[in-house]
Amino acid sequence: MAKIVLERVYSIRLRQKVKKYPRWLRTKKSVTYLRKFLARHMKADLENIKLDTKLNEKLWERGAQKPPGKIKVRAVKFDDGVVEVEIAQ
């Protein structure tokens, strides 16, 4: 079983980053930005960031054109380098 190395809660503002993209690309770009943000702050590779299905559903809840303005996530990094991300309660 993998051991927890690091656990953090982030409140990530998405609105400032996705406003510069066309409406039909905004949620897709917000998912990409979320992955890059977590890779940078948790010191992990992009392919090791695993998003929870509930987090993905929350991002896509209002469709491709209207992602949430900000989202609060809980990220847990394991000793094998994998980062699991879920919605913070």
One pLDDT digit (tens) per residue for the chain, 89 residues: 789 999 999 999 999 999 999 999 999 999 999 999 999 999 999 999 999 999 999 999 999 999 999 999 999 999 999 999 999 98
Residue 85: φ, ψ to 5°: -120, 135
Opening angle at CA 82, ends 11 and 47, nearest 5: 90
Which residue from 5, 67, 10 is spatially nearest to 36, judged by alpha carbons? 10
Whether domain 4-87 has CATH 3.30.70.1400: no
DSSP code for 64 = S
d(CA 11, CA 70): 7
3-state secondary structure of 61: coil
pTM of the model: 0.92
